[in-house]
Amino acid sequence: MEKFTYSVPNLLSLLRLILVPFLAIFASLGEVVVFLSILAVSLTSDMLDGYFARKLHQTTELGARLDSWADMLTYAAMILGLYLIWPQLFFAQVVFVCAAALSYVLPVLLSLYRFSVFPSYHTWGAKIAAVLIAPAYYLLVLYGYQTFFQLVILFHLLVAVEEMAITLILKRPQTNIHSILQLRNKAARK
């Protein structure tokens, strides 16, 4: 068992996992304020878990995997919420919503195929994309601003391409890879 199994970062990721069913329930009930409030807590805890993991030197394989699972399920709940609460926006953005789903699913499928594990790279691109998705989503559902949402989804696609390239370059599964450049620099030093 790892040293920081019950660490603050892992507990924050676990909180995000616990919040996912509540997001689904309140989305299905059409409770906009509750859904968006729970989502805000979830997205805030996503930023905090990584911060505390680095600040408290509590980065672990378990933490990286918990964070990745929580990300995937939270983003799925966001798509579900968009579909159930704001169907007109969902269908107006269906191409971008599908692109968003693919940007998460394809890297996972490739990693599962190649290594039989869920990828947990946490690249800088993925971190930036995660920070951008919150305001993009809220601006879309609250004010109908589509362009920023679409640009963020396109950025997510670029992040997915980088993650798939990392998966193809790696010889064995790894977590917490900052960028494909990090792999190239390591290879150049060998």
Give residue-wise pLDDT tens across range 28-43: 999 999 999 999 999 9
* CA–CA gap between residue 28 and residue 34 (Å, rounded): 11
In this prediction, residue 1 has a pLDDT band, given cuts at 50, 70 and 90, of very low
126-180, pLDDT tens digit by residue?
A: 999 999 999 999 999 999 999 999 999 999 999 999 999 999 999 999 988 999 9
Give per-residue pLDDT as tens, 66-115.
Answer: 888 999 999 999 999 999 999 999 999 999 999 999 999 999 999 999 99
Query: Average per-residue pLDDT in the chain?
Result: 92
What tokens does 106 get? 């394809």
Cα 169 off chain centre by: 22
- Alpha-carbon separation of residue 4 from 10, 27, 44, 93, 95 (angstroms): 8, 34, 21, 41, 41
**Tens-place pLDDT, residues 46-60:** 989 888 888 888 777
Predicted local distance difference test score (pLDDT) of residue 120: 86
Distance CA 122, CA 146 (A): 26
- Tally of CA atoms within 13 A in the half-sphere of 180 that contains its CB: 13
What per-residue confidence (pLDDT) applies to 187?
A: 58
pLDDT at 2: 47
Amino acid at 63: G
pLDDT of residue 190: 60
pTM of structure? 0.89
